[in-house]
Structure 1
Amino acid sequence: MTGFFPGRPAIDVYGGGGFGFAGMSHKGSILALPSGVYAWGPSQPLTVADFTGVFNERASLDLLILGTGEAMTPPPREVRRAFSERGLMMDFMITASAVTTYNLLLGEKRRVAAALVAVERPA
């Protein structure tokens, strides 16, 4: 994975095709994992391979929050099955809600990660 920022910052802003965190901005989608924040270029539709980074950090996670963009779109069955087989919960929602939920759970020191599809405009 590329575009790495170490640590677990909250997501300060989203929209305009990217995200702001830790006083920085990033254009494009991101994976916020226990090891850091990564640039993420997910497939459309999503595939199991899009979540390799998440699965690699499974030991440090209980839940992935998936922000699916401006519309709530369920991930394909094979992606949901891959999470279930690994004993990892996934909740999907629009990116606006995913950012809020991720920040809340992160603030509670929960074992959470986020896969966030960039949106062009804030919700």
Structure 2
Amino acid sequence: MRRPVEIRNAHFPGRAPIESYGNGGFRFADMSHRGSLLMLPSGIYGWDMVEGDPLTVENFHRVFDEAADIEVLLVGTGKDIRPLPKELKARFKELSISSDPMSTGAAVRTYNIMLAESRAVAAAFIAV
């Protein structure tokens, strides 16, 4: 008897640089992930966002949960830079998180550098 396929939330329990990105996903830690990612101090999580989705406070709840360990949040907004809404910027400021929106490619490169420098960085990458 076949067991049904179990769908689990994507989670990698550690920090790792992004090896490559594009074609709707990312490679890291010798693995590939299709879709967007949250790169947090507690690990790497699949993020249910696609290019063009609204950047709302609700979409960043996992980031807020780890705010004490994050100084900088890089937001890769897709192919193009999109400003963060005022209410989202205000929430980050309340939590003393510096937020910086940029294209996903620029965010990946910046994240890798800051991670290598052992900075308190997190990232939200929308897949391109």
Q: TM-score, normalised by structure 2?
A: 0.90
Aligned positions of 1:16-31 closer than 5 A: 16-31=23-38
Q: Gaps (5+ residues) in structure 1?
A: none
Q: Structure 1: which 4+ aligned runs deviate by more than 6 Å?
A: none
Q: Which runs of 5+ in 2 are unaligned?
A: 1-7
| CA displacement, residues 1-22 of structure 1 (integer Å, 9 cap, x when unaligned) | 9210010000000000000000
TM-score of the aligned structures, taking structure 1 as reference length = 0.93
Residue matched to 1:53: 62
SS in 1 for 2:26: strand
1:63 to 60, 72, 76: 72
> The residue matched to 1:70 in structure 2 has which SS?
coil
For 1:66, give the aligned amino acid: V
Give me the whole-angstrom Cα distance separating, in 1, the residues matched to 2:24 and 2:76. Answer: 13
RMSD between aligned residues: 1.3
Q: How many residues align?
A: 119
What is the CA-CA distance between 1:75 and the residue it aligns to? Answer: 1.5
1:77 to 71, 81, 86: 86
1:100 corresponds, among 93, 102, 109, to 109
Measure, in 2, the Cα distance between the counterparts of 1:19 and 1:83. 25
**Deviation at residue 42 of structure 1 after TM alignment:** 3.0
Aligned partner letter, 1:105: M
Q: Which residue does 2:15 correspond to in 1?
A: 8
Give the secondary structure class of the aligned counterpart of 1:87.
coil
What SS class does the counterpart of residue 62 from structure 2 fall into? helix
Q: Determine which structure has more spread, i.e. the larger CA radius of gyration.
A: 2
Q: Deviations over 1:17-68 (max 9, x none)?
A: 0000000000000000011000001372111011111111111110100000
- State the Cα distance separating 1:98 from its structure 2 match: 0.3
Q: Give me the whole-angstrom Cα distance separating, in 2, the residues matched to 1:86 and 1:34.
A: 15
For 2:32 and 2:106, locate their aligned partners in 1 and report how far apart those are by CA, in whole Å: 19
